Structure 1
């Protein structure tokens, strides 16, 4: 865990890295011309001067399209909520936390909180009471907005975090009666007078202040240790939105001012950086029509695509797997789809190609992490890609690859840890100086922990550095084996980790079979063995499981896989050793 790393060692490593950096003659730079990024409040970006907010619905309840918000509605709600927080006594720099599934008013809370120089943070609705309480405590939430369906857990967590009931509000798209002394969040919007709300103005955050003012604290996945709060500034948000917009329209004939039809279906969780950037910030800028689902149900998802003639999806790999493998897909007319953006976790080239061919769409892969606001590397525009590449550096972005001795990788095709620098890189970790120093170098490089290769400016992620399996001294990337397993016609999902006996480690797979499939462990083992070198074979065995543990972002929970592996190693004892 990060807290166990001595500060002297971190300082020594940082100095060593800085010395090496001074000898580097050239970094990998974006192939695109630099973009001008305005230094401003996120509200100045979403509601630019001289452009009247649209009356057209932008955020629409997918289950009830009569329930919607336009940009003009949004601006009114933002002013009322921000002015109400002033009256409530919530100071600038204090944190507003939401604990809710998706609904059309989450963007209101996000923009009003950040735009009024307070800090937005969201908690996963699947969290336990203890997990929510931990986040409430670490972030010192001044106000908590809780969906009625989560009120029991939320109140228990607030009690643990010693947050008074007067600062807890129910948060839904419909008005809620008082429950257990908890009022509806709309009470905040009526605390200021109509005149006060209408006249409320945001600080434009000019002259570098946007670079140092935190807009949101999004928590990293927490696959190792406790989750860390990632501090994202207004400048980070605006930068990454502009970078993504430039990438989206590259060589398409469309532009931000003339984007063509933009009808999106949003199911990504709005407490997550990916959805915040696209479903809120970029959607606002494009005045797109975004149909929001409160929860993901696959057949509802297909039904909504057909009903609303959806053109664009932002997804994680598990959704693409469903679109590719599940028979329900064939029941619906999905011809309106043009582009699917996939990120947050590695995507198999085979799945990417198969979905593209099956649906007649362009599947665009991108790479990013919470620490890069959302994205750092992407496939541009509607470029067809079938090699599994994550694309090119976004504008204004630089990269380095370092080998295990911290030397710069200069040869194309040679793997190294990816370091990234650009205006989208986080400010710091929330109140975690040790983790910040370990992850950010003094000259602004973010150590991603991802192992990448680059050829002619195009990147591929090999795997997470800490997830590589060592077999007789040779590295094995779980993502490579997972991609191969997904080529099997009877496998719908798979995850690979190492299983260890004393000093030996072998790859072990956890596999979800297609419904009614009778494929055996031996068949799967042989299937993989024909496609990989001997040291990459699944010598650690295969276990069939009902599902692969994943975060809402789609990332495999590697920590849980390692726990399964340790359990299996104990149960199997020396059987595996004697059979190898």
Structure 2
């Protein structure tokens, strides 16, 4: 039998996301919500954001953009990204964000794959945007400059403000109503998932997917607190997560509006600026990925700043070891909870309820209206407490992969089950993620989870970051680690020191027989996930060079 959420089902609206965030009959407030972390006088309120959003929707009508077409953004974070997101989505167009670190080729792939008709590009990226648009065959004049201040033309690109109507004209605009069917079937966003093979794939998320996941997440966020979202104490957030990514969009754009929580938006993540913003703005809640937790643990700058305002941290996007979770919770005297999600579930599907003290490393319980199965390699449900691949079903499950029916068929069943590729264990309605199914290392038929090895490696104080992967030597697969040392330990800590640490911590079949390599940096996506494909390529090249030689333990 599938696992059902232990929480009562929610009555989830089926409507335009804009109607959910700005209900008819309610007057938007003049409280600053989206605030520039460098210049706090530069901000948007719900009232001004809604006006800009309507102006963008009307402006897109004027330049010939049609409902159902993709409009891309290509920009670092800034306070007007929420305007683009909500203006595009609310007018029944499709929002797609591109990573500002993308090369011209990567950007051209996303333009071609989405069939985007218009691009809003930051001035610093205008040259790349134009080159990518040309490479993808986009009609000339479809790239506009997009930042938080007016811009003079660059490379023949006009500023996005040039095509906007006046504020007075925009006041008369109303976002289109949606029937239940429209809300469920209309694509709102196409965010790109790294997937497990090939080029990134666009994930189609509907208006109802977004509304459902907001309701689910808000419910879980305050479930065990002595208050709910209507009578909670002061909250202040820091918006450093990239806004081209689902995690940042759900919290910094949509949930900040729904809950009316001010969020200081960082244009670029720099660790000391991150710490300084927490201190200066008395930030209370952080939404993070594990690399931030590693920095809080390992970086000496952490001790220079007053982080006492932080009461709650949500960690997602990749596994977090219970040891690191406990360490940071103790150091900052704050509550840390984990969650599980992926772009294909809009953002999240499993959360530790807010207010529940958990230091076991669990990612929590199924969100309301959600169910799952844990299946073995033969498609059979596993016994209680045994690992199995996680399949999820619920109102937040994506519509499929954009213009990729083959990938959709491989991942989504006709009756709505999403194959996650993650291996989980369930005990008494609580879930633990073991690892990605295709990342497991098999040592003499025994499975070894890279995430477990990485957690153990990070317990060794001289190590700043680490990643584990399988390496095949003489036909046998063995665990191999790529390790970044703290600066003060470089040249002093050797492979032998790390092997000695591992011998104390893990069973024989989990030892790093495949060797240890010191690197300057572990390759990661901006979301915080380790780039497993890169590690596998490194290991393959290393295996050819090593000629079958194993580490001496």
TM-score range (shorter-chain normalised) is over 0.9
Count, aligned residues = 551
Distance 1:524 1:39 in 2: 54
Q: Quickly say closer, same or farther: Cα 1:536–1:172, change in 2 above 3 A.
A: same
Contact 1:165 1:182 in 2 (8 A): no
Contact 2:51 2:167 in 1 (8 A): no
Distance 1:38 1:188 in 2: 33
Contact 1:471 1:535 in 2 (8 A): yes
Name the residue aligned to 2:512: 538
Distance 2:25 2:502 in 1: 59
Distance 1:33 1:528 in 2: 44
RMSD, aligned CA: 1.2
Contact 2:126 2:155 in 1 (8 A): no
Shift of 1:254: 2.3
Q: How does 1:130-149 map to 2 (within 5 A)?
A: 130-149=105-124
- Which residue of 435, 446, 452 corresponds with 1:463? 435
- Which residue of 319, 324, 332 corresponds with 1:346? 319
- Which residue of 185, 188, 199 corresponds with 1:215? 188
Name the residue aligned to 1:21: none
Q: 2:117 aligns to what SS in structure 1?
A: strand
Distance 1:224 1:264 in 2: 35
Name the residue aligned to 2:289: 316
Name the residue aligned to 1:19: none
Q: 1:141 aligns to what SS in structure 2?
A: coil
Shift of 1:222: 4.2
Contact 2:88 2:95 in 1 (8 A): yes
Q: Quickly say closer, same or farther: Cα 1:194–1:315, change in 2 above 3 A.
A: closer
Contact 2:152 2:158 in 1 (8 A): yes
Q: Which moved more, 1:350-359 or 1:246-255?
A: 246-255
Name the residue aligned to 2:203: 230
Contact 2:127 2:155 in 1 (8 A): no
Q: Can you give the 5+ residue segments of structure 2 that lack an aligned partner in the other structure?
A: none
- Which residue of 384, 388, 406 corresponds with 1:434? 406
Please report the TM-score for the alignment, with normalisation by the length of structure 2.
0.98
Distance 1:121 1:553 in 2: 16
Distance 2:259 2:233 in 1: 10
Name the residue aligned to 1:158: 133
Distance 1:435 1:502 in 2: 34
Distance 2:337 2:422 in 1: 20
Q: How does 1:326-365 map to 2 (within 5 A)?
A: 326-365=299-338
* Deviation >3 Å, runs of 4+: 193-196
Q: Can you give the 5+ residue segments of structure 1 that lack an aligned partner in the other structure?
A: 1-25
Name the residue aligned to 1:477: 449
Distance 1:566 1:194 in 2: 58
2:177 matches 1:204: yes
Name the residue aligned to 1:556: 530
Shift of 1:195: 5.0
Q: 1:66 aligns to what SS in structure 2?
A: coil
Please report the TM-score for the alignment, with normalisation by the length of structure 1.
0.93
2:503 matches 1:529: yes
Contact 1:453 1:460 in 2 (8 A): yes
Shift of 1:502: 4.0
Cα deviations by residue, 1:60-79 (Å, 9 ceiling, x for unpaired): 00001111000000110111
- Which residue of 40, 46, 54 corresponds with 1:79? 54
Contact 1:165 1:181 in 2 (8 A): no
Shift of 1:179: 1.1
Shift of 1:251: 2.0
Q: 2:544 aligns to what SS in structure 1?
A: helix
- Which residue of 42, 66, 71 corresponds with 2:17? 42
Name the residue aligned to 1:395: 368
Distance 1:245 1:375 in 2: 11
Cα deviations by residue, 1:105-162 (Å, 9 ceiling, x for unpaired): 0000000100000000001111111000000011011110111111121111111012
Distance 2:390 2:155 in 1: 50
Cα deviations by residue, 1:19-77 (Å, 9 ceiling, x for unpaired): xxxxxxx2101111100100010001110123211101000000011110000001101
Q: 1:127 aligns to what SS in structure 2?
A: coil
Q: Which moved more, 1:157-166 or 1:352-361?
A: 157-166
Contact 2:145 2:151 in 1 (8 A): yes
Q: 2:423 aligns to what SS in structure 1?
A: strand
Contact 1:497 1:507 in 2 (8 A): yes
Q: How does 1:23-38 map to 2 (within 5 A)?
A: 26-38=1-13
Q: How does 1:409-424 map to 2 (within 5 A)?
A: 409=382, 411-424=383-396
Distance 1:576 1:313 in 2: 42
Name the residue aligned to 1:116: 91
